[in-house]
Amino acid sequence: MGILKPDYRFNSILEISVPFLKEKGIEGLLLDVDNTLAHHFSQTPIEGLEKWLKEIAAAGIKTLILSNARSSRVEPFAEKIGVAYTPKAMKPLPFRAWSSCREMGVKSKNTAIIGDQLFTDMLCGSLSGTTKILVTPMHEETGRLFKIKRGLERKILK
Ligand SMILES: [Mg+2]
């Protein structure tokens, strides 16, 4: 199950520091939106995100939003925080991750994917050859499918 497992885990994206990323040779970040940068369906970035993004940018680390959601959800959010974006990313498939790395001008081996789900974000990281960073989802989704997925995730991470 290694392909579903993260390389690193943080409680929040805000805990991922510039020195940590530099030490791992990370020059670009592919960012999930729902439950990583904002609550599910919310257009409001989590508190502290804009400050974090400024620090990342000041360190010369590129960022790009890689989301499976459609552009009507992703575009207004991405524009609000001033980050380039790829909607309908089809994670866990690696193709949009690769094109997004090219867009950032960073090799996939120097890129980290940051997200809250094993079956989309972490698997995409394995398939695309990027470093996998898992963050704790900010809030548990209610749908039945999500409950099953989160249950499986907990088993895998044990
Ligand atoms: Mg998510």
Please give the pLDDT value at position 98. Answer: 98
pLDDT band at 83 (very low <50, low <70, confident <90, very high): very high
Question: Mean per-residue pLDDT for 53-80?
Answer: 97
Q: How many domains does the chain fold into?
A: 1
Ligand 1 centre from 133 Cα, in Å?
12
Per-chain residues with Cβ under 5 A from ion ligand 1: 32, 34-35, 116
Which residue segment(s) compose the domain that 73 sits in?
Answer: 2-157
107/144: higher pLDDT: 107
Ligand 1 centre from 34 Cα, in Å?
4
Task: Give the integer Cα–Cα distance in Å for 124 and 87.
Answer: 15
List the CATH number of the domain containing 8: 3.40.50.1000
The whole-model pTM stands at: 0.95
pLDDT band at 141 (very low <50, low <70, confident <90, very high): confident
pLDDT band at 1 (very low <50, low <70, confident <90, very high): low
Task: Give the integer Cα–Cα distance in Å for 131 and 21.
Answer: 10
